[in-house]
Amino acid sequence: MNTELLSWGQIIARILQQFLPVWIALIITFTVSIRYKRKLGLYGKLFDSPVGMVGFLLVMFWVFTAIFADFIITLDPIAQFGRVKNPLPGTPLVDPKDGQYAYFLLGGDHLARDVFSRVVMGARRVLTIAPAATTFAFIMGATLGLPAGYFGGKLDTVLSFLANLVLAFPVILLFYLLVTPEIRNTGIPVVLAAVLFIFPVIFFCTLFNSRFFTNPPKRNLYVGITLVIGLWAYFGLAFNLDPLGVWSMDPNLLNVFVSVVFVNSPTVFRIVRGIVMDLKARDYVAAGQTRGESAWYIMLWEILPNARGPLIVDFCLRIGYTTILLGTLGFFGLGVSPESPDWGSTIDDGRKLLSLYLHPAITPALALMSLVLGLNLLADGLREESLKD
Amino acid sequence: MTDTTWDPTKPILEIENLSISFFTRLREIPAVMDFSCSVMAGESMGLVGESGCGKSTVALAVMRDLGKNGRIVDGTIKFKGRDLTHMGEEELRHIRGSEIAMIYQEPMASLNPAMKIGAQLAEVPMIHQGMGRDEAWNLARQIVADVRLPDPDRILQAYPHQLSGGQQQRIVIAMALMSKPALLILDEPTTALDVTVEAGIVDLVKDLGHKYGTSMLFISHNLGLILDVCDRLCVMYSGEAVETGDVIEVFDKMRHPYTQALFRSIPLPGADKNSHPLVAIPGNFPLPHERPKGCNFGPRCDYFQDGRCNAAEVPMFPVPGDDRHATRCIKWTEIDWDAPMTLKASKPKTPIGKVVLKMEDLRKYYSVSSGAFGGGSAKVVKANETLSFEAREGETLAIVGESGCGKSTFAKVLMGLETATSGSILLFDENVQSTPIQQRNTNTVSSVQMVFQNPFDTLNPSMNVGRQIIRALEIFKQGKSDAERYARMLELLDLVKLPRAFADRMPRQLSGGQKQRVGIARAFAGGAKVVVADEPVSALDVSVQAAVTDLLMDIQRENKTTLLFISHDLSIVRYLSDRVMVMYLGHVVEMGTTDQVFQPPYHPYTEALLSAVPIADTKVIRKRIVLEGDIPSAMNPPPGCPFQTRCRWKSQVPGGLCDIEMPPVQVLAGGHQLKCHLSAEVLAAMEPVIQIAAE
Amino acid sequence: MLKFVARRLGVMVLTALALTFVVFYLTNLPPNLEKLARTEGSVRMTDQAVADWIVGNGHGGSVFGRYAEWIGIAPGWTLTDEKGVTRGRCIAAGSDPAAAPNYCGVLQGEWGFSTVFKKPVLESVLQKLGSTGWLMMWVMIVMVPVSLIMGVLSGMREGSRLDRSLSIIAIATTATPEYVSGVILVAIFASATAGISPILNEWGWISGRTLFLGTATSAMDGITFWNFALPVLTIALYGIGYIARMTRASMTEVMTQQYIRTARLKGVRFRDVVLKHALRNALIAPFTVIMLQFPWLLNGVVITEALFNYKGFGWTLVQAAGNNDIDLLLGCSVVAVLVVLVTQLISDIGYVFLNPRIRLA
Ligand SMILES: Nc1ncnc2c1ncn2[C@@H]1O[C@H](COP(=O)(O)OP(=O)(O)OP(=O)(O)O)[C@@H](O)[C@H]1O
Ligand code: SF4
Ligand code: SF4
Ligand SMILES: [Mg+2]
């Protein structure tokens, strides 16, 4: 039996090798993008900003890691290997089965699970939940922020009050109240989900209707497709009622997801509202009004596309923020599930023995930090480039 | 920092072969090329040219403040014999503000919002002369009085936002004069101001220039203003000086085709849309990095000769006999400068038809709340008061007035974006005053359309030109299929004389004039019968203005459109309108045919307005009437006559009636309406403001 | 002005009511009450016994009624059981029911009793707030000057090397949540096996095993640099980056304003341009941000207190939530909500006073 620890050089070499698919994908992405950067609009301009490029590199590294996670992991992230707690990085497995990877590359945690594989798999979790939750928060924030900014008056007062209400809630407290197993039994998350998830359906129906109402057949087609797909997904996700079983969400995940969307959307609401108040004084809005366009057409087709710059930047920042939030949840043991390899829970698990064993906590901590850093740099690059001519 | 070596008979500022480039990521943008000019002591030099020709860049180069990406690539700028281009930061700092001062276009933005006026003024002598605080404040007080601001002590203690635009600009001027600079650079100092306020500032600048013996570099795109203020002039085109010389000589004996074309495209008194139309300069201004070979003006020049004009860079040729007059045209000796311009075929006058729009006693009040915390008492702003008029088919009705007089509110009410507080609007005999636009039927909506002021704002930046026009067609239920609408869109592009290929362009790829054309095409998509044009050309360059105005007139002739032309520019109003309505603080103070309004008897406000407009014609003699003070706020208008705070005729009305009572509408001969207490005799004795001197 | 404050206070009270009601509602959901019954009574209670316990301890009836009792606008519940003993919300154990007051809610100063700490809520919350106050104070002392200086320095010359480096630092710190920076800081400074402590120990520079202490429990008794620096730094780091970026954005914007150019062309020294002309205008926006930072600090505080085992307000909140200690949780949320609302009010008023462009009504 092999008992020799791998040296750090060997560990790094092996890790680099595991990430091979990611390197290939990154090289392809960057070569193509830089070659055609002048034709790619704002995305292309990103490659003129070193800050933006570094950010994009970090983000894409994790995106590709999430995509190729199955090829990258060395061991089953949930399984326990042997009885030795907290094996150090480079420790060989006690008695590896045939074809099994023989080392804990970055050590193991207190249950002797492989840290490296958990972090890689954690990337997949984070990168599915965070962008999805942020997207929902954006749609909800936009659907409410547009009319609040555009019409102003009573509607704005009421919506702004509600938004401030949510914002005044200390996030941690809210999570402690919402993300408990007991709450799940009361059905509150499902009710919230029912409210939150209907917004995308409304959003897209209005979007198509306001544009194509002059051409009923086309309108009916677009709205019809939206309704079918939207409601199908809606019933699947919110009520777990999808007859085909394509759309469904684990109740605990649903709970976390809904809470995260709920906490994020008021901020988006405020941003959208602010931009709309600024843009609605433009002449092209007035031109739309003098043509007799409906208010929703003007909001969705005349104003929203022109607000995309700041919104894209905020979107990147917000994914980062959501990632931190998910980590916070994990840190307080409110994560998706105790078994889940998500980064926050892993940090939480590791911190208890921090002064003795660093590796179980520090690896996910660095992973999370680099992803959020990447998103921030990306946002910064985008902001800077979109301001230039 | 007086330089003893400088000889006062030499130019105070001498710019030689100056070239300036901006370095962007994509390329080097040569903003100014081979520019030379000199300013003598006590002289005021005007710099004219269209937007983007490099006027501001030259001014900033003199201050050596070109920003991060701008660099002087060649040439010298000598101030009192010392080369500024190679001066160190510390040395420059001593010159800036003390020997050379600069005034910019936007007064509000030039003053620090968080500092008291007094502190901002006093700072200058404290830095440069090492003056004590109290002494500096005293000096500030004196200069504030010099720029004719009332109550200097209060003003010194005020913050910028507590002053009106005109007052702010006076403070900026005062700041520039604090250390009695030898050279003053003014970059469009009055563009953001109303004409009547502008007239006051211009007078002030002229007087102070003489009083302190300051040399001036006066930048403007307005030829009339240059004639008013300057002794000499330098015409710029696309980064170069094309003609320079004494103002009168250049105005009367221009020797460059661009200068000539410029004068032909501005509406001087005597121009007329039917018999004596303006001549627009064809084509567009070249972008700095797309300049043609040889003469920059070549592609747009009537006298262009292949092989000569585009062979090599054209140098400046001195015009003998005149005082330092020079032109950058190879053929200047060959062109017959006195030949009358080939008149475009004069066009028939549009017959005026039946009444299409009638407004009676229209009022629009807004209630606003004031105060930072949303508290405060709600006030009523009377944006429009008892507006009555009618407009006929094929007629152009101009609505004139300075900012805040209620022009745009009126347009909004007519369009149905706001509903009137009271009164009636009859559109094709249909009563629409209380019908908001959502409830109007497609027919009504499509027959009243609007052309907007700001070309950079009028098109949705993220939708291509073709789509925007097609959208209007869809909404107005034009065409049966997508293909039909597409074809109609192309026709509309033809109508506004844009290439069909523009359909696929994004708005940012269009110039200001082209965007404005798209805006017009969009307005006519549903066959509009009444078009409200809200300052459609005021943001455009003069050479483009003429073309867009012409286009509007052509379309009007063809479609018998009723045009409501909102403007503050009296020259263009005189040129194209049939009838004129003058507004002040929400009231119509005068209304009549163009001739009636532009000839005495005037309403006192119209008289002041007419005299304030600078005219770029040396033969025109203009009576100067400078209005005191600023336009009152519409929030608290004065009692009695709205114009009474600034009226110079007030004393002619017995019994102080103007202060107490709103004047009635007097109807004079030919249906000419005036809202004034002045008696018929006084009115009849009024003299014309503008006279064209006999040649 | 008075009217504005009055209206704002009105909105604040409304917000506070709405928020406490939400907390009340969520903590009083049947499953939570059942859990409470089982922890207070016994884990093996029958369902019937649980139901009885809930009713017998005044948790029955409509949630609105109970909320009103908690506020103190409805009379507290009383129950007389079979033995003839009358208990009630306002009746202290063993005292005479007849002498007890009718109302005993927040309005009467009765915040209830903490089931976790076995102490009146008000007392434990106030005590813990004191501890957290120290933490907050030191965080502010470290965070505000550092971040403002960083922001101003990097914003005054946009794109300079100084700006680039400071910006990268600022972005890096905002990208690092407390639970990550805390872990890293402990790893570097307070780990016996990694970071710099073992090295220092070997060289004999420090007598203990670690340079800084990995927990702040001892700071409850006396704050020292060695037990408090890491928690303060952990919270401050995130905020430093955030405020510095806001300040930088505001500063760069101000530096491109026309009036700065005017000042420059007046011949004002660059130093004075920054200090006299730009600074005041540039600090308006960060002021708001700093004020709004307080509520957000609360989050950081909760994480950091948990991480460093410092028994302050955040730690209390975690305990209360973890054990569904209803009264304590409500007390905590009232405090949290008040912090948020008061700082919002201060930031709004301060904004108006800092900004001379806004006229006072
Ligand atoms: N910072 C800059 N970066 C790149 N190009 C610039 C910059 N500043 C000016 N330019 C370009 O230099 C040319 C001259 O600009 P300038 O502002 O001097 O024109 P102008 O005559 O003052 O115009 P206006 O009448 O509109 O004030 C323009 O083409 C402009 O686009
Ligand atoms: S050089 Fe030729 S193209 Fe240029 S202005 Fe003279 S005639 Fe016209
Ligand atoms: S009514 Fe009096 S104040 Fe008004 S315009 Fe006539 S003369 Fe002047
Ligand atoms: Mg300019």
Task: Report the alpha-carbon distance of residue A375 to residue B376 in Å, rounded.
Answer: 45
Residue B216: both structure tokens together = 């001036």
How far is C-alpha B267 from the chain's CA centre?
Answer: 13
Q: Which of B394, C303, B280, B381 is nearest to A347 (CA)?
A: C303
Residue C238: both structure tokens together = 């995130």
Residue of B417, B445, B475 best to disrupt the A interface, most CBs of A under 10 A: B475
State the closest ligand 3 atom to the C-alpha of B647, by its place in the atom list counted from 1.
8
Task: Name every residue whose Cβ is closer than 8 Å to that of residue B321 and which is 6 or more positions away in sequence.
Answer: none
Q: Which of A85, A72, A57 is nearest to A119 (CA)?
A: A72
How far is C-alpha B212 from the chain's CA centre?
Answer: 29
Residue C273: both structure tokens together = 């341009």
pLDDT at residue B122, as a whole number: 92
**H-helix or E-strand containing B399?**
strand B396-400
pLDDT at residue C181, as a whole number: 86
- Own/partner contacts of B414-417, CB < 8 Å, gap of 24 or more, are B414/B357, B414/B359, B414/B448, B414/B532, B414/B564, B415/A289, B415/A290, B415/B448, B415/B450, B415/B532, B416/A290, B416/B440, B416/B445, B416/B448, B417/A286, B417/A289, B417/A290
Task: Give the CA count within 13 Å in the CB-facing half-sphere of C160.
Answer: 12
Residues in chain C: 361
C185 touching chain A per CB within 8 A: no
The 8-class DSSP code of residue B637 comes to P
Q: Which of B308, B173, B239 is nearest to B22 (CA)?
A: B239
**Nearest by CB to B457, which of A48, A284, A294?**
A284
Q: Is B647 in the pocket of ligand 3 (CB under 6 A)?
A: yes
> How many CB atoms are located within 10 Å of the residue A100 CB?
12
State the closest ligand 2 atom to the C-alpha of B303, by its place in the atom list counted from 1.
7
State the closest ligand 2 atom to the C-alpha of B298, by its place in the atom list counted from 1.
3
Per-residue pLDDT of C186-236, as tens digits, reads 888 877 777 777 777 777 776 666 777 777 777 677 777 777 888 898 888
- C-alpha to C-alpha distances, B216 to B59, B169, B183, B233, nearest whole angstrom: 11, 17, 6, 11
Burial A141-161 (b: 16+ CB within 10 A, else e): bbbbbbbbbbeeeeebeebbe
pLDDT at residue A322, as a whole number: 87
Q: Which of B112, B83, B111 is nearest to B16 (CA)?
A: B83
Ligand located closest to B327 CA: 2
**Nearest by CB to B109, which of C257, C280, C357?**
C257
For residue B555, which amino acid is it? Answer: I
Residue B360: both structure tokens together = 């009676």
Task: Report the alpha-carbon distance of residue A360 to residue A112 in Å, rounded.
Answer: 10
State the closest ligand 2 atom to the C-alpha of B301, by its place in the atom list counted from 1.
8
Pocket test for ligand 1, best of B56, B60, B102, B105 (most atoms within 8 A of CB): B56
Residue B688 has pLDDT above 80, yes or no: yes
Secondary structure of B318-355 in the HEC alphabet?
ECCCCCCCEECCCCCCCCCCCCCCCCCCCCCCCCCCCE
Q: Do C179 and A375 touch (CB under 8 A)?
A: no
Q: State the count of interchain CB pairs (< 8 A) between A and B.
A: 61
Task: Report the alpha-carbon distance of residue C15 to residue A162 in Å, rounded.
Answer: 9
Residues in chain B: 695
Per-residue pLDDT of B571-604, as tens digits, reads 888 888 899 999 888 888 999 999 888 888 889 9
The 8-class DSSP code of residue C99 comes to G
Q: Which residues in chain C are contacts of A188 at CB distance < 8 A? A: 26, 29
Pocket test for ligand 2, best of B305, B313, B333, B337 (most atoms within 8 A of CB): B305
E strands within B452-606? 530-534, 562-567, 579-584, 587-593
Residue of A164, A329, A353, A354 best to disrupt the C interface, most CBs of C under 10 A: A354
Greatest mean pLDDT among B651-655, C157-161, C247-251:
C247-251
Q: Do A302 and B477 touch (CB under 8 A)?
A: no
Q: Is B286 in the pocket of ligand 1 (CB under 6 A)?
A: no
The 8-class DSSP code of residue A300 comes to I
**Residues of chain A predicted below pLDDT 70:** 1-3, 335-338, 355, 387-389
Taking a C-beta distance cutoff of 8 angstroms, is the pair C239, C293 a contact?
yes
Residue of A46, A279, A291 best to disrupt the B interface, most CBs of B under 10 A: A291
Write down which chains contact chain C via at least 3 CB pairs under 8 A: A, B
Residue B204 has pLDDT above 60, yes or no: yes
**What's the ipTM?**
0.81
- Ligand 2 proximal residues by C-beta, below 6 Å: B 257, 295, 297-298, 301, 303-304, 309, 314, 329-331
- At residue B430, what are phi and psi to the nearest 5 degrees? -110, 135
Q: Is B604 in the pocket of ligand 3 (CB under 6 A)?
A: yes
Q: Is B191 in the pocket of ligand 1 (CB under 6 A)?
A: no
Q: Do C356 and B113 touch (CB under 8 A)?
A: yes
Write down which chains contact chain A via at least 3 CB pairs under 8 A: B, C
Distance B255 CA to ligand 2 centre (A): 11
Taking a C-beta distance cutoff of 8 angstroms, is the pair B12, B183 a contact?
yes
How do strand B82-83 and strand B448-451 relate by DSSP bridges? unpaired
Residue C62: both structure tokens together = 């409509």
Can you tell me which residue has the tokens 């005037």? B602
Residue C72: both structure tokens together = 């103190």
C213: closest chain A residue by CA: A355
pLDDT at residue B5, as a whole number: 63
Rounded mean pLDDT of C7-30? 84
Taking a C-beta distance cutoff of 8 angstroms, is the pair B15, B38 a contact?
yes
Residues in chain A: 389
Q: Where are the alpha helices (DSSP H) in chain C?
A: 2-27, 30-40, 47-56, 63-71, 121-156, 161-174, 178-189, 197-203, 225-255, 258-265, 270-272, 279-308, 313-322, 326-354
C63 touching chain A per CB within 8 A: no
Per-residue pLDDT of B303-336, as tens digits, reads 888 888 888 888 888 888 777 889 998 888 888 8
Can you tell me which residue has the tokens 């949303």? B374
The 8-class DSSP code of residue A93 comes to P
pLDDT at residue A338, as a whole number: 66
Task: Grade residue B372 by pLDDT with cuts at 50, 70 and 90.
Answer: very low
Task: Report the alpha-carbon distance of residue B522 to residue C194 in Å, rounded.
Answer: 71
pLDDT at residue B19, as a whole number: 92
Q: Which residues in chain A are contacts of C18 at CB distance < 8 A? A: 165
Residue B311, classed as helix, strand or coil, is coil
> How many CB atoms are located within 10 Å of the residue A28 CB?
10
**H-helix or E-strand containing A73?**
none
Per-residue pLDDT of C53-82, as tens digits, reads 777 777 777 888 888 888 877 777 777 777
pLDDT at residue A205, as a whole number: 92
Q: How far is B550 from chain A (nearest CA, A)?
A: 22
Q: Is B29 in the pocket of ligand 1 (CB under 6 A)?
A: yes
For residue B436, which amino acid is it? Answer: P
Rounded mean pLDDT of C150-173? 87
pLDDT at residue C361, as a whole number: 35
**What is the percentage of chain C residues whose pLDDT exceeds 90?**
3
Looking at the DSSP bridge assignments, the partners of residue B100 are B96, B183
Q: Which of B48, B202, B197 is nearest to B542 (CA)?
A: B48
Task: Report the alpha-carbon distance of residue C235 to residue C239 in Å, rounded.
Answer: 7
Can you tell me which residue has the tokens 């040569």? B30
Q: Which of A169, A52, A379 is nearest to C245 (CA)?
A: A379
Per-residue pLDDT of B378-394, as tens digits, reads 677 787 888 888 888 88
Distance B678 CA to ligand 3 centre (A): 7
**What is the percentage of chain B residues whose pLDDT exceeds 70?**
96
Return the ∠ at Cα A81 (arms to A75 and A85), rounded to 5°: 120
Q: Is B677 in the pocket of ligand 3 (CB under 6 A)?
A: yes
Q: Which residues in chain C are contacts of A177 at CB distance < 8 A? A: 23, 26-27, 321
The sign of the dihedral angle between the CA atoms of A108, A114, A118, A120 is positive
**Nearest by CB to A168, which of C15, C171, C302?**
C15
Q: Do C3 and B68 touch (CB under 8 A)?
A: no
> How many CB atoms are located within 10 Å of the residue C184 CB?
20
Residue B49 has pLDDT above 80, yes or no: yes
Distance C32 CA to ligand 2 centre (A): 89
Q: Do A291 and B415 touch (CB under 8 A)?
A: no
Task: Report the alpha-carbon distance of residue A56 to residue A52 in Å, rounded.
Answer: 6
Residue B2 has pLDDT above 70, yes or no: no
Q: How far is C174 from chain A (nearest CA, A)?
A: 8
Write the burial class of residue C94 (CB in 10 Å: 0-12 exposed, 13-18 middle, 19+ buried). exposed
A39 touching chain B per CB within 8 A: no
Q: Do C281 and B372 touch (CB under 8 A)?
A: no
Q: How far is A15 from chain C (nearest CA, A)?
A: 22
